[in-house]
Amino acid sequence: MMVTRVLVEKKKGFDVEAIALREELKSSLHMEQLSKVRIINCYDLEDVSHDDLVNIKKSILSEPNVDDVTETSFHLSRSEKAFRVALLPGQFDQRADSAAQCIEIITLKERPEIVASKIFVVEGDITEAQFESIKRFMINPVESHEVSLGIPVSLKMSANKPDAVEIVTGFVELDQVEAERFKSEMGFAMSLADLLHVQKYFKNEELRDPTITELKVIDTYWSDHCRHTTFMTELTDVEFEEGLYSEPIKQAFETYETLRNQVYPQGNRPMSLMDLATINMKALRKSGQLVDLDVSDEINACSIKINVDKDGKSEPWLLMFKNETHNHPTEIEPYGGAATCLGGAIRDPLSGRSYVYQSMRVTGSGNPNAPIESTLEGKLPQRVITQKAAAGFSGYGNQIGLATGHVSEVYDDGFIAKRMEVGAVMGAAPIAQVVRSKPETGDLIVLIGGRTGRDGVGGATGSSKAHDEESLLACGAEVQKGNAPEERKIQRLFRNPELSIKIKKCNDFGAGGVSVAIGELADSLDIDLNAVPKKYEGLDGTELAISESQERMAVVIDPKDLEAVMMFCRAENLEATVVATVEAHGRLVMKWNDQKVLDLSRAFLDTNGVKGQMSTKIAAPDSKTFFENKLAESIEERWLSLLADLNVCSQKGLVERFDNTIGAATVLMPFGGKYAMTPSQTMVAKIPVLGYETDTASMMSYGYNPQIGKWSPFHGGLYAVVESMAKLVAVGGDFRKARLSLQEYFERLGEDSIKWGKPLAALLGASYAQHAFGTAAIGGKDSMSGSFKELDVPPTLISFAVTHGSAAKVISQELKRCDSKLYYFYASRDQSEVVDFDRLKKAYELILDGISKGQILSAYSIGTGGVIAAVSKMAFGNRIGVRLFDHVDMNFFEEAYGSIVFEVSKQWESTSEIFTEIGQTQEAFAFELGQTTIDADDALNEWTKPLESVFPTVHHDQGKAVTFNYKGRFNIKSSISAVKPKVFIPVFPGTNCEYDTERAFRRAGADVETIVFRNLTASDVKESIHAFVEQIEKSQIIAIPGGFSAGDEPEGSGKFIASVFRNPRIEEAVMNLLKSRDGLMLGICNGFQALVKLGLLPYGEIKDLDLNAPTLTFNKIGRHVAKMADVRVASTRSPWMSEVNVGDLFKTAFSHGEGRFYASEEIIAELAKNGQIATQYVDLSGNASYDGQFNINGSVHAIEGVFSPDGRVFGKMGHVERVGKNLYKNVYGNTDFDIFTAGVKYFK
């Protein structure tokens, strides 16, 4: 068959993406003459019949009510110019992949070949040069390229059979000059000394020349990214430059030497950065402390043992946390790099069989407001990097179903050298579900999850290199597109205890691919590269060995468990393949096409190359301290300019694109108060205990200020630890139980001893603080390539602090009352600018005691901006004013890290001189200091506007929304009664709210069954359809949960689900349930979108949609929105509303990209007349509104949920299933909108 092209363009009013792009081009490229931008989604399909194509166009590739569709070509006016952009060959294309999956379902035929691309049409008085600049702005050569507007003859990838893997003939005879030339030609990351070491091994031990696979695997294995070669370099001499602030650095080094003597009494351990980073942990273990540390040779993440409350009983669990960095990939391909940063962070604790439930994102960027003309050659604009990276990280997390509890971007010009992209995650699992056994001869290695492609080849070695202006053009294969729905499947699989206890050992696929992920599992391995599943043909043995294609796990199992493991994988719609066996020969062997492409001694591999040696010199910090008093303009000018500082101002528009409530475990929302304007400093979430209630919560915070590190890396490391501890204390977290993980990010060190002194000093500072607190870093991650030509990143050490405690005792950080006293603990420092740790710990203990007694109502850790920034942020959440006393001996602008300001109740008892009363709260929304009064609304405006153009907080819409009030009530009971009604919850690729929805129905008294829709093969599809029909016939309720079915592709949400439910057998079963068996149907978020696309809402039956059908489309703000919003009941004409009344208000969690309900005024009037408008977004007065602050997606007449004509089918965007005890403690309002009890009661 020939290739058919389908072109889909949004109708006017729905072209949100095109309008946003036009404004971005006009602003960034200064093209005011640009009058219009069009975006046309282009689909080229092969092997699709004409009859099938008709159905595919209207139900999968487009929606008749929002899209215009043409075939083959499109019209261009004389003033328009067009170009087409496609992903580079080999990149994962979620749009094309999801389209093919949907087509397979509706046709019940093999998946067709599909290539998706975009055509951009610009209109205006644009010169050719300007047109080319638009292309450069739009096309990142690392991920995409311009392609012809013509239709290709065929879409099938031509893959010649790859040649045998090359043997590098003559390698063992190369002299040093030839070896250096060879190293350069191959682009190896290893040093020349390493290469000569390899040459010696092959010449003297293997007695042969190596294959190219062996050399590339060794280069990957020994890369800085995989083996921390910089951190493992032996430090032979350490010199200290004398200076005003050098003494504590020397004292810290002496303490380090003392700890080394305790830990290594034989004195034979080389000194290194890695040794320093881990010495506090080793010393505490040696002395019998750190008893909560989970010790295993398998652990890929920090892991501690805790007791978890489970319905009032204590159960032993493992709490895991991990930080990961993807600086280089995000710098050159922001979306994919940031997405896979999170994906990689998740897989580490996931490989430990823990369920990953919360994430934190800490990033570093240059000024995103900088004009595009200032962009360095070979760089992407900072604005583009930071916007696309935010989209990538949030997109992956939102799809996989991970609550992002804290997001913070640090701005510093040093990050123009290379972006910082750091993700940290929390995971947990019952200890009984985690089995760790030593692999034995005969054990099998099973590869679970995604397939292998060329994307990601060379990622580990690429991340280990410094870069220049050629990097954007040369690094395309190193960066991948993540496939979050695939990783979600692995999360579900590993959460099954029947499966998890069969895993002896596990490793995730990240840097190094097969060579590292499988190569690290046992000392002796035979790997069959031909067994590794491929995305496409044509991959050779080397590519299969080192490709870093993600969303894969390698597990070691006993052969007797193979059948069961395969069964569990099939049940979760996951591919699983035996790819290796554990042997006893002490070698790593890989075979491909009957060729042994790799055969290396494990002992040689484990040398990790030539051990480097380096002398270091720690430069003295400048005599002008970071903490020097900076007095300048008037108090009002300084206060307002401080709030407008990029590192103080609001990041609300950035934060609220990350789902923060999924899992129904979030204790503190990112922003608190009635007005949701007080930023939380610590993320807190309840442990994910399935099927039970818990009060146990984890807490994670971070500490970091690049300005301190630039003045003194030692103090930067020290105060990173202090700040992370202070933030825990400020919400009630016990710092005495805290454990740390460190993130280091430094310039390329080379052979410069002073550069080497920077990470050494930073780690000494962190070690000094750990020693003083009596705790330790039990993990971390280093990245030592933060250089671009002559530019370097700021010396960076981030401290992530984790503790656990009672969710009930956590306090939120917004001011609570208008008549409270404010107290201040000032963390005093000595003449070396080191905090008084004894005084600090005493104060923290007293503060925790005050919090536990309910005497401290709110608290805030002091950081950038001092007390002034802290009290301002505390005040914004509830619009409570503050009057500060004019203390002549106190500088409220001082960035006194470790200090805490707190609000007390009238029962406050402490008389300790360690605290100072500094002010009080007041009803008037103003800030007062001495004789100065500042209108707090002016301050709020200054705080919110700096990043508004980069990360908008609201859409701007106008109009008068009608507040609907339907008076009738649905009082009919089902004709079929059931003591425990059966609820069917289907799980599709990309579904992520099934656990929350199941929990809500079980609490309401229902019996719940979930079934995964499997579609790896045509037979899987048919079996799934049969299983769905069978379960629907047994059930009284169908509940379609939220998520991102098939990644919300192709270009629209819910299409995959709709494709399944349009199957004739399933459609018949659904309509029989609703029409003949008195059944109910519910769709939340993604489920609501599917119900609308099916016609079940608002029509009550599955039908083809026409041009006038209501729809749910893209949010007017043009991005994902995740926040709490007020919802009002407008009608109770449904069984789902028997527990509420018209006018009831609920604070509801939202997280969606396509939630804007749209219908014509005629249809709205009909829905209102029938009582089908169920719920509306409302303002603080309870009135429906178009104001983007309240109507978060721009829905017509603020409609949030609708019923079918008979009320049996109910769809809504808000996640009413995400509720629980001690959740959202900084949110004001009733969150318990219990439709689930109502649905269950209908059958009783």
Residue 900 in any domain: the answer is yes
Total domains in the chain come to 3
Task: Please tell me the predicted confidence (pLDDT) of residue 458.
Answer: 54
The model's pLDDT over 304-335, given as tens digits with 9 standing for 90+, comes to: 999 999 999 999 999 999 999 999 999 999 99
Start-to-end CA distance of the chain, whole Å, equals 57
**Ramachandran sector of residue 1143 (left: φ over 0; alpha: ψ -120 to 50; beta: rest):** left
1105 and 1168 together in one domain = yes
Q: Are residues 1067 and 1200 in the same domain?
A: yes
Domain boundaries, position 31 = 4-147
Q: What is the mean pLDDT of residues 1060-1089?
A: 97
1011-1052 pLDDT, tens digit per residue, is: 999 999 999 999 999 999 999 999 999 999 999 998 899 988
Q: Among the residues of 1148-1189, which ranges form H helices? A: 1161-1169
Task: Say how far apart CA 33 and CA 36 lie, in whole Å.
Answer: 9
Give which of 1167, 1152, 1090, 1162 is closest to 1116, Cα–Cα: 1152
Which tokens go with 1076? Answer: 């003949």
Predicted local distance difference test score (pLDDT) of residue 1139: 95
Pair 1078, 1156 in one domain: yes
Claim to verify: residue 872 and residue 1001 sit in the same structural domain: no
Checking if the pLDDT of 933 tops 50, the result is yes
Query: What's the CA gap between 327 and 309, in Å, rounded?
Result: 38
Give the global pTM. 0.96
For the cut 70, the answer to whether the pLDDT of residue 552 exceeds it is yes
Specify if 1128 maps to a domain: yes
Q: Which of 694, 703, 736 is nearest to 848 (CA)?
A: 736
Q: Is the pLDDT of residue 269 over 80?
A: yes
- Alpha-carbon span 756 to 620, nearest angstrom: 14
pLDDT-wise least confident of 118-127, 157-166, 468-477: 468-477
Kindly report the CATH number assigned to the domain that includes residue 934: 3.90.650.10
Contact 1124, 1162 (CB under 8 A): no
pLDDT of residue 339 exceeding 70, the answer is yes
pLDDT at site 1157:
98
Does residue 606 form part of some domain? no
Share of the chain above pLDDT 90, in %: 89
Instruction: Region of 1146 please: left (phi>0), alpha (psi -120 to 50) or beta.
Output: beta
pLDDT at 461 over 50: no
Tell me the one-letter amino acid at 831.
Q
In a domain, 738, yes or no: no
Which residues are bridge partners to 253 per DSSP? none
The pLDDT confidence band at residue 536, using thresholds 50, 70 and 90, is confident
Q: Which segments within 1017-1155 are labelled E, that is strand?
A: 1037-1040, 1080-1084, 1111-1113, 1121-1129, 1145-1152
pLDDT digits (tens, 9 = 90+) for 788-810: 999 999 999 999 999 999 999 99
Report the CATH number at residue 1130.
3.40.50.880
Domain closes at, from 128, 147, 166: 147
Residue 3 has pLDDT above 50, yes or no: yes
Kindly state whether residues 879 and 986 are assigned to the same domain: no
Band (158; pLDDT cuts 50, 70, 90) = confident
> What does the pLDDT read at residue 476?
40
- What pLDDT shows up at residue 464? 45
pLDDT in tens, 848-884: 999 999 999 999 999 999 999 999 999 999 999 999 9
* Residues 920 and 996 grouped into a single domain: no
Among 112, 147, 182, residue at a domain's last position = 147
Q: Are residues 945 and 1021 in the same domain?
A: no
DSSP structure string for 365-400: ES-TTS-GGGPPTT---HHHHHHHHHHHHHHHHHHH
Q: What is the mean pLDDT of the chain?
A: 94
Task: Phi first, then psi: give them for residue 482, nearest 5 degrees.
Answer: -75, 155
CB burial of 1062-1084 (b: ≥16 within 10 Å; e: otherwise) equals bbeebbebbeebbeeebbbbbbb
490 CB contacts (<8 Å, ≥6 apart)?
350, 448, 449, 551, 553, 572, 574
In a shared domain, residues 1022 and 1163 = yes
- How many residues belong to the chain? 1244
User: Tell me, what's the pLDDT at 462?
Assistant: 45
734 touches 805 (CB < 8 A): yes
From 147, 174, 209, give the residue that closes a domain.
147
pLDDT of 299 over the 90 cut: no
Residue 1000 has a pLDDT of 98
Other CB atoms closer than 10 Å to residue 1020's CB: what's the count? 14
Is 262 part of any domain? Answer: no
What is the rounded CA–CA span in Å between residue 1223 and residue 1232?
A: 11
Three-class SS state of 911: coil
Encode 661-689: b = buried (16+ Cβ within 10 Å), e = exposed.
bbbbbbbbbbbbbbbbbbbbbbbbbbbbb
Quick one: 1157 and 1107 in the same domain?
yes
Structural domain includes residue 103: yes
Which pLDDT tens digit goes with each residue over 726-772?
999 999 999 999 999 999 999 999 999 999 999 999 999 999 999 99
Same domain, 15 and 114: yes
Asked if residue 155 lies in contact with residue 531, where contact means CB atoms within 8 angstroms, the answer is no
Q: Rounded distance, CA 485 to CA 98, Å?
A: 11
Q: Are both 1131 and 1234 inside the same structural domain? A: yes
Whether the pLDDT of residue 712 is over 80: the answer is yes
Q: Is 673 left (phi over 0), alpha (psi -120 to 50) or beta?
A: left
- 825 with 944, same domain: the answer is yes
β 1209-1212/1080-1084 pair status? parallel
Tell whether the torsion through CA atoms of 261, 262, 265 and 267 is positive or negative. Answer: negative
Cα separation, 994 vs 1174, whole angstroms: 23
Question: Would residue 960 count as lying in a domain?
Answer: no
Q: Are 37 and 81 in contact (CB under 8 A)?
A: no
Residue in the block written with tokens 């919400």: 731
Angle at 401 between CA 676 and CA 446, to 5 degrees: 155
Q: Residue 624 in contact with residue 636, Cβ under 8 Å?
A: no
Answer yes or no: is 93 within a domain: yes
**pLDDT tier for residue 460 given thresholds of 50, 70 and 90:** very low
Residue 488 pLDDT more than 90?
A: yes
- Per-residue pLDDT at 478: 57
